[in-house]
Chain A
Amino acid sequence: GAVVSQHPSRVICKSGTSVKIECRSLDFQATTMFWYRQFPKQSLMLMATSNEGSKATYEQGVEKDKFLINHASLTLSTLTVTSAHPEDSSFYICSARRVGQGANQPQHFGDGTRLSIL
């Protein structure tokens, strides 16, 4: 149980393109999903917290107009990187917490999306 799926797993596109990444909780409902970014050989850095039916909360330094987050249902959150540039190339990972579980319970992570902007 507690499977989180990300799609696509890999994206290669030209500079200026907008890219949408999906994060789905396959066998549970998730009130809250989290989006992380991981550069090569570095740790995971939280970008934003996505709450179903409300606006996302962004971490300091993350441009909300650049990284659009939509959490329209209890099983799907999307991250759109608008007008992507080479510096946006990174590994984007989402995680989800099951509805009804307290904030103290672990998050379940997806397998990540490798974004490469040429």
Chain B
Amino acid sequence: GQQLNQSPQSMFIQEGEDVSMNCTSSSIFNTWLWYKQDPGEGPVLLIALYKAGELTSNGRLTAQFGITRKDSFLIISASIPSDVGIYFCAGRDFGNEKLTFGTGTRLTIIP
């Protein structure tokens, strides 16, 4: 099936640094979602975006829905150890319940 391209594939940062990751698609979505997955668990919703150009924050997380509807980015400010995990973007077409997931970004925090 179709997948969204996420970059970078993995990141190694120090605690306290800001993190930015991006998700791009060849097709338009009307909803963008960002999830975090810890090892052996299901994804947990972080932020949902419903309008092109929308910028939404949730605590230290900020995400934007690209104007072209083909991309989204997520920023994590002042990273802490519990931010470690895999971050997935997901897109949904208008009128379609199905989600298309990105390839994932694995975040590791160096002590």
Measuring CB to CB, which residues of chain A are less than 8 angstroms from any residue of chain B? 4, 6, 32, 34, 42-46, 49, 59-61, 91, 93, 95, 97, 103-104, 106-112, 114
Measuring CB to CB, which residues of chain B are less than 8 angstroms from any residue of chain A? 1, 3, 30-31, 33, 35, 40-45, 48, 50, 88, 92, 95-104
Q: Are A60 and B1 in contact (CB under 8 A)?
A: yes
Name 26 A/B residue pairs within 8 A (Cβ), A-sorted: A32-B97, A42-B103, A43-B102, A44-B88, A45-B1, A45-B101, A46-B1, A46-B98, A46-B99, A49-B98, A60-B1, A93-B42, A93-B43, A95-B42, A97-B97, A103-B95, A103-B97, A104-B30, A104-B31, A104-B92, A106-B48, A109-B42, A110-B42, A111-B40, A111-B42, A112-B40
User: With contacts A43-B101, A46-B98, A97-B97 known, is A106 near B45, CB below 8 A?
Assistant: yes
Q: Choose from A6, A42, A107 the contact partner of B99 (Cβ within 8 Å).
A: A107
Q: Choose from B33, B44, B88 the contact partner of A43 (Cβ within 8 Å).
A: B88
Separation in Å of the A46 CB from the closest CB of chain B? 6
User: Which residues of A sit under 8 angstroms from B100, Cβ to Cβ?
Assistant: 46
A61–B2 CA distance with the chains assembled, in angstroms: 13
User: Which residues of A sit under 8 angstroms from B1, Cβ to Cβ?
Assistant: 45-46, 59-61
| Additional A-B contacts beyond A60-B1, A110-B42, A112-B42 (12; CB < 8 A) | A43-B88, A43-B104, A44-B43, A46-B98, A46-B100, A91-B40, A103-B97, A104-B30, A109-B35, A109-B44, A112-B41, A114-B40
Separation in Å of the A33 CB from the closest CB of chain B? 11
A114–B88 CA distance with the chains assembled, in angstroms: 19
A103–B104 CA distance with the chains assembled, in angstroms: 24
Q: Choose from B42, B50, B103, B104 the contact partner of A104 (Cβ within 8 Å).
A: B50
User: Which residues of A sit under 8 angstroms from B88, Cβ to Cβ?
Assistant: 43-44
User: Which residues of B sit under 8 angstroms from A61, Cβ to Cβ?
Assistant: 1
Q: Are B33 and A111 in contact (CB under 8 A)?
A: no
Select from chain A the residue with minimum beta-carbon distance to B93: A103
Separation in Å of the A102 CB from the closest CB of chain B? 10
User: With contacts A43-B104, A44-B88 known, is A106 near B97, CB below 8 A?
Assistant: no
Q: Are B44 and A49 in contact (CB under 8 A)?
A: no
